[in-house]
A and B are shown apart, each in its own frame.
Chain A
Amino acid sequence: MEGYKKGVKCSDCHSFDMDILSSRLFMCSDCGVVVGVENQIRDYFLHYTKIIPDEVYTRRDIQDHINIGLTEYTLQKVIKSNFRKLDNRERIYYFSP
């Protein structure tokens, strides 16, 4: 999708200005809504894969899509619970919540 802007955004006001409140929470710095990190990221990929199905991601792609600097620990957790490794391909994942 040309011109498509990646990143987790606020579901209330559509702002991309999401701050990391803790390892489990994001807060929208525009409207103050607080959401769970994992839910928000899962939602993002659920919607994205509806529009672009069958996409495979490197770890870097996943980070780019989320577009918020998660800690290594949180990123690992997100990948583990939402993605599966493609057969025989060490670093290629597909979304499978």
Chain B
Amino acid sequence: MREKHEKLKVYEFLYNRLPFSDTEKQEFRAMQRMEKLEARFERELARIKTHNMSIHWHTEMLIDSDYEIVNVLIVTDYCYYLFVLHDLAGEFYINPFNILCRDNHEAALDLNRSERIYEMFRSQLIDEGKYQRPIILKYVMMNSGFRLQGRRSELFLDMKNLPYYLKAIEHSAVIRKKNHHPASTKF
């Protein structure tokens, strides 16, 4: 069961009761947006069987003096899946420097950061024994108005494909459990 972020609860309680600074307002709005995205993801997750998985919500980490959020971490006996949720809408392309840009060339997302997130987890999620579970990181584009032109990226997962992706995780978690010795989940 997912718990609403404590800080968001405090913001919600204090909103309209105390004056918020611009930074606080901005942070509050960002957290509300994240909450909506996570609630939506949770609804998708409710459609699959999750008893062979452990699910961890909303991890924030400091990477090069900026915070990155991994909204969902799904752990099965055979893989770690990291999901970062985004609600970007409009036409985008990926430039040669691996920056996701809007069609007016405004930078929206530095995709090089995904490497850093990956490395961070790679250094943390060490399995005991011979089998090291792979880590898969996906940026889930939750807004159906998101369009990517030109070069594609394996990193992105469209909202419309999320149900199939989760179903596949469910399926692999079950089937592999039958045929293999499960690796120990040390997390």
* A residues at B contact (CB < 8 Å): 1, 3-6, 9, 11, 14-16, 47-48, 50-51
A90 to chain B, nearest CB (A): 30
Which residues of B approach A to under 8 Å, CB–CB? 9-10, 12-19
Is A51 in contact with B15, judged by CB distance below 8 angstroms? no
Q: List 10 A-B contacts (CB under 8 A).
A: A4-B17, A5-B16, A5-B17, A6-B17, A9-B16, A14-B12, A14-B15, A14-B16, A16-B16, A47-B10
Most buried by B among A1, A11, A47: A47
Contacting pair A47 B18 (CB below 8 A)? no
A5 contacts which of B9, B10, B12, B18 (Cβ < 8 Å)? B18
> Which residue in B9, B10, B16, B18 is a CB contact (below 8 Å) of A1?
B18
CB contacts (< 8 Å) of B16 on chain A: these are 5, 9, 14-16
Of B12, B13, B19, which one neighbours A3 at CB under 8 angstroms?
B19
Q: Which residues of B contact A15 (CB under 8 A)?
A: 16
Residues of chain B contacted by A9 (CB below 8 angstroms): 16-17
Cβ distance B39 to chain A, nearest Cβ, rounded Å: 14
Q: Give bound CA distance, A48 to B13, whole Å.
A: 8
Given A4-B17, A9-B16, A47-B13, 8 other A-B contacts at CB below 8 A? A3-B18, A4-B18, A5-B16, A5-B17, A5-B18, A9-B17, A11-B12, A15-B16
